[in-house]
């Protein structure tokens, strides 16, 4: 009887193996990679999101800007400046950065993010009147290190899970799958997650945790370890809610919205829901929102989706969601055809990060989860977040130039 050849457990990202070579061989020589053009569909989808975002930034902000900054164009001008700076820098990234670059410098990015997160906890940090210290004020621009930490974690875990693929897939628990598949990646997640928790930034902490677990799963970590880690994170999240009064208050408002103070803790949520409901099927028209006149506070930020719904209605909301679905679909397409495992994990991670933020932001503004500070990618105003989102798109586009198939 013919015996079936032994098979090697492989992580989910991988296509059928070409051969079993050294786990780092894909990085020993990448000079043979053929550089092509960027993924045009992904670029066009992103451009549509960015342009629509610019329109909505102005429409949502001009009332607040006129009242607080004496000019209706305050936010849109700054938004466009940040956008142009990001596009120029990202052009260089797309043109010159190879998949090897992101592999080589990933740990450096992680180290920089740790330093910046630590600086937030020093006198250099500021709370910007939010009650939580999350920013570094450089006068010209205000940095939010937790945004960089998300990117750094994706790059770092992608490299680690690639470099130690053999150990991650090994059946040897303490010298293999637990040590390299759970312990070390878990410490990397805890490194940034712990500092973000000290900033009382629960939403960023949740995204960091989910990003980390997803990359471990795609990198080959066994399901039993993923389930255990997810349970630990869930318990930790419950403890944070219990011991952080402001987090507990938000959960309590969410669970008891009918009894909550409509002029206090429930104000933002109720006004956002009113904006969504008043938009109807086709909306009131661009610029015609009523809720941005002091009802939805700072409508150009986390609650900008409510203004989209009010001005463009259900149809506009579906259009925005459809664009994000197309963005995620094309990002995963690029990831599946990336030239190596590290690049694939990077694209999966960055695309999933956008998907997570969109889902959580819409969940917040529709009161499907407690109110917390989660921006809508490419739409919500914010210099650091916008520039990093454009950079992340540039990383994906730079990797798409080395895709292992003919682009369609």
Cα–Cα distances in angstroms (integers) from residue 146 to residues 88, 133, 201, in the given order: 23, 11, 9
Give the chain's residues under pLDDT 70.
1-33, 128-132, 140, 173-175, 404-408
pTM over 0.85, yes/no: yes
How many CB atoms are closer than 10 A to CB 170?
Answer: 18
Query: What is the rounded radius of gyration, in angstroms, for the C-alpha atoms of the chain?
Result: 22
Tell me the pLDDT of the chain averaged across its residues: 85
Residues 182-241 have pLDDT tens digits of: 899 999 999 999 898 888 788 888 899 999 999 999 998 888 888 888 888 788 778 877
Residues 259-295 have pLDDT tens digits of: 777 777 788 888 889 999 999 999 999 989 998 988 8
Beta-sheet pairing, 142-143 with 125-126: unpaired
Taking alpha carbons only, the member of 114, 30, 84 closest to residue 398 is 30
């Amino acid at each position: 009887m013919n015996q079936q050849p032994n098979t090697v457990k492989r992580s989910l990202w991988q296509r059928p193996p070409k051969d079993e070579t050294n786990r780092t061989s894909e990085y020993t020589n990448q000079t043979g990679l053929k550089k092509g053009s960027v993924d045009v569909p992904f670029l066009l989808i992103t451009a549509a999101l960015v342009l629509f975002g610019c329109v909505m930034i102005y429409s949502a902000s001009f009332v607040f800007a006129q009242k607080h900054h004496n000019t209706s164009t305050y936010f849109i001008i700054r938004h466009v400046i940040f956008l142009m700076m990001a596009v120029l820098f990202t052009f260089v990234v797309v043109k010159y950065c190879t998949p090897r670059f992101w592999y080589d410098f990933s740990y450096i990015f992680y180290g920089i993010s740790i330093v910046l997160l630590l600086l937030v906890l020093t006198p250099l940090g500021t709370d910007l009147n939010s009650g939580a210290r999350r920013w570094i004020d450089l006068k010209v621009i205000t940095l939010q290190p937790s945004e960089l930490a998300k990117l750094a974690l994706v790059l770092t875990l992608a490299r680690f899970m690639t470099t130690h693929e053999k150990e991650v897939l090994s059946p040897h628990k303490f010298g293999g799958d637990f040590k390299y598949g759970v312990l070390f990646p878990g410490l990397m997640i805890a490194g940034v997650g712990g500092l973000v928790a000290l900033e009382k930034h629960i939403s960023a902490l949740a995204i960091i945790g989910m990003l980390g677990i997803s990359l471990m799963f795609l990198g080959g970590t066994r399901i039993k370890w993923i389930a255990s880690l997810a349970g630990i994170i869930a318990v930790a999240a419950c403890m944070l809610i219990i011991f952080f009064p402001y987090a507990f208050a938000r959960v309590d408002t969410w669970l008891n919205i009918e009894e909550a103070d409509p002029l206090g803790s429930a104000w933002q949520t109720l006004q956002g829901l009113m904006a969504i409901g008043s938009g109807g099927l086709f909306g009131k028209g661009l610029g015609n929102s009523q809720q941005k006149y002091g009802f939805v506070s700072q409508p150009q930020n986390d609650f900008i989706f409510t203004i989209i719904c009010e001005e463009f209605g259900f149809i506009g909301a579906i259009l925005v969601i459809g664009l994000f679905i197309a963005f995620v679909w094309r990002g995963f397409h690029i990831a599946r055809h990336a030239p190596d495992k590290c690049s694939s994990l990077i694209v999966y991670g960055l695309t999933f990060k956008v998907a997570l933020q969109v889902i959580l932001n819409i969940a917040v503004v529709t009161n499907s989860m407690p109110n917390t500070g989660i921006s809508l990618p490419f739409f919500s105003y914010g210099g650091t977040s916008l520039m990093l989102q454009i950079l992340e798109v540039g990383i994906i586009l730079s990797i798409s130039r080395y895709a292992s198939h003919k682009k369609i």
